[in-house]
Amino acid sequence: MYKRIFTAVFLVFSLLGTTGASADGFDDLNVLTEYYPPFNYEEENRTKGISVDLLLEVTDEMGSGLERSDIQLGQWSKVYQQTKNQPGNMLFSTTRTEKRENLFKWAGPIASNQFCLIVKKANGITITDINDIMKKNLKVTVVHDDVAQQMLQSAGVPDDNMIERPFPGLCIMDLHRNNVDAMAYGKHVAMWMLGLYGFNSYEYTSAYTIQEGDLYYAFNKKVEDDVVNRFQQALDTVKASGEFDAILNRYR
């Protein structure tokens, strides 16, 4: 009799352990993002976007209890440094580059992105080479710690040619008011934001593509490999199911 009771209790706890194991470790993380539409942003006090919706599908697949309201939206430089330097953080959407490769653990990709120099068509600015920034002494507005800024720095563009801002909205206003010659940012995101700010995005264009890159979920280096690997497996499962295509269609 006692043997049967022990066996039953063991099976119950084994099942409970199996149910919660898939999300073990992930739910202890701070999940951080920034305003970067259409991938991640806030509308009517609700976090949304392609990467947000994908994240929720992935964490549901893992058995995680993550809710939309658990996702913390903040200033890019702050959440970037927090994720890089403090254990227990995950950040998205983060462009995976050679310079950043060893700063984080990665899961993805989410989507591809073009990083460009956006200009106002009416100003007639042409850029055929990155060196034109220096040759023509162009002023480029950038978001502090953003990948486009890092790409320009790696290409040898001096700080004197860059106007650094904490938020992309301030860069949009710089460009609109002709305070700068160009904005270095993700092309599709910049065009989306111009529309959100009430400007006609058709009055702007990409004058030069700096580089292309893939967006990822970035984990602090001290997050257990098992957590990142299980997240990647769940992400692959969601993508294979066709659910990601449905998410993309919601934002077209």
pLDDT(145) > 60: yes
Q: What is the mean pLDDT of residues 165-169?
A: 96
For 44, left (φ over 0), alpha (ψ -120 to 50), or beta?
Answer: left
Task: Please report which confidence band the pLDDT of residue 18 belongs to, taking 50, 70 and 90 as the band edges.
Answer: very low
DSSP-assigned letters across all residues of 110-132? EEEEEEEEEEEGGGT---SSTTH
pLDDT at 2: 38
Q: At what angle do helices 243-250 and 50-62 cross, to 10 degrees?
A: 150
Q: At what angle do helices 243-250 and 225-241 cross, to 10 degrees?
A: 80
The answer to whether 67 and 31 have CB atoms below 8 angstroms apart is no
pLDDT at 199: 97
pLDDT at 160: 98
Task: Please report which confidence band the pLDDT of residue 252 belongs to, taking 50, 70 and 90 as the band edges.
Answer: confident
pLDDT at 9: 35
Q: What is the mean pLDDT of the chain?
A: 92
Q: Is the peptide bond before 87 cis (omega within 30 degrees of 0)?
A: no
Over residues 78-98, the pLDDT tens digits come to: 999 999 999 999 999 999 999
Q: What is the mean pLDDT of residues 6-22?
A: 38
**Cβ of 145: how many Cβ atoms within 10 Å?**
17
pLDDT at 147: 97
**What percent of the chain is modeled with pLDDT above 90?**
90
pLDDT(11) > 80: no
Indicate the residue type of 162.
M
Over residues 189-233, the pLDDT tens digits come to: 999 999 999 999 999 999 999 999 999 999 999 999 999 999 999
pLDDT at 248: 95
Answer whether 28-112+215-250 and 113-213 agree in fold: yes
CATH architecture assignment, domain 113-213: 3-Layer(aba) Sandwich (3.40)
pLDDT(19) > 60: no
- Kindly report the CATH number that applies to the domain delimited by 28-112+215-250: 3.40.190.10
Task: Please report which confidence band the pLDDT of residue 75 belongs to, taking 50, 70 and 90 as the band edges.
Answer: very high
pLDDT(187) > 90: yes
Task: Please report which confidence band the pLDDT of residue 138 belongs to, taking 50, 70 and 90 as the band edges.
Answer: very high
Contacts for 102 with CB less than 8 Å, ≥ 6 apart = none
The answer to whether 216 and 110 have CB atoms below 8 angstroms apart is yes
pLDDT(45) > 50: yes
Q: What is the mean pLDDT of residues 147-163?
A: 97
For 32, left (φ over 0), alpha (ψ -120 to 50), or beta?
Answer: beta
| Domain limits, the chain | 28-112+215-250, 113-213
Q: What is the mean pLDDT of residues 183-191?
A: 97
Q: What is the mean pLDDT of residues 107-121?
A: 97
pLDDT at 204: 98
